[in-house]
Amino acid sequence: MFGNPLARRKAEQQMQAEGRLPPGQSLTLDFPVLHYGSVPGFNPDTWSLRAYGEVEQEKKWSWAEFTALPTTKVTCDIHCVTRWSKFDTEWEGVRFRDVVDMVGVKPTAKFVIAHCDGGYTTNTPLDIMLDDDVLLAYRFGGRPLEPDHGFPMRTLVPKRYFWKSAKWVRAIEFSPVDRPGFWEQAGYHNNGDPWKEERTQRRGFFA
């Protein structure tokens, strides 16, 4: 349908007219791959996900245990700090709010730190993570995630630039204090709201 530049541009203008294209972004029909480090391997027999920190009960799930939890499907738009936006993407996974209910997050928890294979981390305020469309996702477009896109599991945080949707997540920490993650320490904006163009902390980065 959008096999030529004019058709793509028309679709982009439609998204803009509908108020769905944040400032400085362009529509893409692809799913660009951007990440730090190499794609990790996956062994379903040894993989685990841990939730800890300011919680009433720490929990750890095996792959079999986590994928047996009730899932939710979300259709949303995603926006990368490198200026591409992809619309009507379809995801499936465990709603993050359901994980919060399972571990009993304490009132002292204010931020969520996602810890991933390879040492990558990213930080997000807890109130953003409690939105209905935030998932621990392991399916995209009706199929398991591709390894380049975070298989076996990633966070999905549609209201922030896509680096906040951490690939290959292995632990979720509920923290009383904010701790900037990998890209935030490298100069990306700590909050990352695409509608405010919160791309960087300093001028010149993706400007």
- Residues 33-87 pLDDT 10s: 877 778 999 999 999 999 999 999 999 999 999 999 999 999 999 999 999 999 9
Which residues lie across from 115 on neighbouring strands? Answer: 121, 171
Say if residues 138 and 92 touch (Cβ distance below 8 Å).
yes
- Measure the CA–CA gap between 55 and 45, rounded to whole angstroms: 26
Domain boundaries of the chain, sorted by first residue:
5-32+48-196
Residue 121 — φ and ψ, nearest 5°? -135, 155
Structure tokens at 56: 């009433």
Helix (H) or strand (E) holding 102: helix 96-103
- The model's pTM: 0.91
Question: At the top level of CATH, which class does the domain 5-32+48-196 belong to?
Answer: alpha beta
Say if residues 75 and 139 touch (Cβ distance below 8 Å).
no
- Measure the CA–CA gap between 195 and 17, rounded to whole angstroms: 15
Structure tokens at 74: 């979300």
Q: How confident is the model at residue 168 (pLDDT cuts 50, 70, 90)?
A: very high
- Measure the CA–CA gap between 122 and 131, rounded to whole angstroms: 17
Say if residues 112 and 173 touch (Cβ distance below 8 Å).
yes
